[in-house]
Amino acid sequence: MSDAYYTTRLGHDERREKVWRYLTPYLQRFVPENASVLELGAGYCYFINRLRAGRRVAVDLSPEIERWKGPGVESFSGDALEYLRGIEPQQFDFILASNFFEHFEWPALQEMIALIFRALKTSGRLAVIQPNFRLAAGRYFDDYTHRTIFTDVSLGDWLRAGGFDIVKMIPRFLPLSVKSRAGGLSFLVPLYLRLPYRPLAGQMFALAERPATGSIR
């Protein structure tokens, strides 16, 4: 992913920052106290900068990660696979991958899920926020860097095949992007997340856990 991506498709957008202002507290409930947390594809660090945790690590391809990270956040500028290959096992209690996995081909994804499993402590959790192709097929490839299709069914099956237990799966989680019709209504995010049915949703949410026993299936 080139630096040009950040000035075209993923440029700084105040609406996106506002969404994470509300979304981070929602995710905070799944993070243990004083946890060690990793964000893959951290981008502008909207999540990791706000999160309360004992250790926070942001990984992103962009060299600008050094500028975007907040005080106390460790950063790695480079390929996520390279980072995951180089760390010791069972480093993290919680890993977030938001709008991340769809940018990779299957061979890289198969290696990555094994490395994420390895990086998590026992009972550690992986949170995934992801475009849901079943809900947003017509716009899924508006982002020219999308490579792999996921639905709420295929994502859940892939995580289980990687050895994880599914704690929570929400097929309709958020609008597809801040550029969608509902994207400008960031102040409604707390209410939206409480709705039993979420109109205009195009993103899904999965929370997976490394079980106390077992290995990659």
Q: What percent of the chain has pLDDT over 70?
A: 88
- Which of the residue ranges 151-160, 171-180, 198-207 has the most confident prediction, judged by mean pLDDT? 151-160
Checking DSSP bridges between strand 92-98 and strand 73-77, what pairing results, if any? Answer: unpaired
Q: Where does the pLDDT of residue 9 fall: very low under 50, low under 70, confident under 90, or very high at 90 and above?
A: very low
> Mean of the per-residue pLDDT values for the chain?
90
Provide the pLDDT for residue 215. Answer: 53
- Strands of the sheet with 201-209, listed across from one edge: 73-77, 55-60, 36-40, 92-98, 120-131, 201-209, 165-175
Cβ–Cβ contacts within 10 Å for residue 127, how many?
Answer: 21
Q: Is 5 helix (H, G, I), strand (E, B) or coil?
A: helix
**C-alpha pair distances (Å), 169 with each of 4, 63, 128:** 33, 33, 9
**HSE of 203, CA atoms in CB hemisphere, 13 A:** 21
CA distance 162 to 217: 6
**pLDDT per residue as tens digits for the range 118-172:** 999 999 999 999 999 999 999 999 999 999 999 999 999 999 999 999 999 999 9
DSSP 147: -
Strands (DSSP E) contained in the chain are 36-40, 55-60, 73-77, 92-98, 120-131, 165-175, 201-209
Cβ–Cβ contacts within 10 Å for residue 84, how many?
Answer: 21
Provide the pLDDT for residue 200. Answer: 87
